[in-house]
Amino acid sequence: MTVRIGVIGAGAIGREHVRRINQVLAGAEVVALSDVNRASAEKVKAEIALTAEIFESGEALIDSPKVDAVLVTSWGATHEQYVLAALAARKPCFCEKPLATIAEGAKRIVDAEVKHGKRLVQVGFMRRYDVGYVALKQAVASRIGAPILVHAAHRNPTVPEQYVTPMAIHDTLIHEIDVLRWLLDDDYVSARVLFPRKAARSHAKLRDPQVVLLETKKGVLIDVEVFVNCHYGYDIQCEIVGEDGVAKLPEPMAVKVRLDASLQNPILTDWKDRFVDSYDVELRDFINAAAKGGVSGPTAWDGYVAAITSDACVAAQEREGEPIAINLPTRPALYN
């Protein structure tokens, strides 16, 4: 069976996912596109999805009998309305992060999915599919003993002027929030944020870098440096200290060069290159499950927990140094 996919949002990652589905992966085809700016959808159609129909609204795309499954890759603030519409149409839905920009929105999605009684939402937390993170999870589960500390860093070379301080949490840290919880098989109980002096390349409305401290139910202390104008590259680091040993996320594969009396090892600069394979694997997972009418992978509950945690981290930014409690509701049985 070929899964007929409709994509809402033909921007940077929407275009990448359309390319993946039509040119890299088997078992699916993009048959429908929609974007608030029709010209963006037309451009992607002309470049990659030549036979796709363009719909005037995301809702019309979701309701079309030609569409079996939905990809939501529009701006974060629009995700909730489309995911709820896909749930109402009972169609498998892959939603890019964030599931919703605030926890209340993610809760409405969880409530709707629980009411339907069947999982239909996969959230685009692609790091869970990264070969390095998968190996790190195995080491944490079986080799280094119970985790005690985590040191992580999320560094981007640069961000645009419109990237403001809370986006360091909602847009950037959200990946660590999800992947660390998954790596540790644990949940967060509190968040604190500390700011050193502002880096010279930071923008007027951005305090950069910052350190987020998270504490888990099992008593693990996590520090994550978020530095989005680090200049030198796109650099994701993660080290877990356990009772018996330390496990570190492997660096991406790169040729080492000995030259001019130095040992040179290139560092990537583009997030698309760093996780290119994991995007392929997460969408393959989505297509395989959608072919059977369901989903697998990160759940709406994971998206909701990430949203609750990121809301707490933003509150912690506003009350620098103060611990903000993270209280999770009881997990519905659908997500056990």
Footprint of ligand NAP on this chain (CB under 6 A)?
8-14, 34-37, 40, 58, 73-76, 78, 96-97, 124, 126, 171
Pick 58 or 92: Cβ nearer ligand NAP: 58
* Separation between Cα atoms, residue 97 and residue 38, nearest integer Å: 23
* Separation between Cα atoms, residue 71 and residue 331, nearest integer Å: 25
Pick 6 or 147: Cβ nearer ligand NAP: 6
- Given a contact cutoff of 8 angstroms between Cβ atoms, the answer to whether 335 and 299 are in contact is yes
Pick 36 or 211: Cβ nearer ligand NAP: 36
Residue 81 CB-half CA count within 13 A: 12
Residues forming a β-bridge with 71 = 7, 94
- Given a contact cutoff of 8 angstroms between Cβ atoms, the answer to whether 334 and 119 are in contact is yes
Closest separation in Å from C-beta 42 to ligand NAP: 11
Pick 18 or 324: Cβ nearer ligand NAP: 18
Alpha-carbon dihedral angle through residues 39, 44, 45, 46, given to the nearest 10 degrees: 90
Pick 171 or 176: Cβ nearer ligand NAP: 171
* Separation between Cα atoms, residue 290 and residue 272, nearest integer Å: 24
Residues 6+ apart with CB under 8 A from 203: 159, 161, 163, 229
Query: Around Cβ 171, how many Cβ atoms within 10 Å?
Result: 19
Closest separation in Å from C-beta 66 to ligand NAP: 18
Closest separation in Å from C-beta 279 to ligand NAP: 7
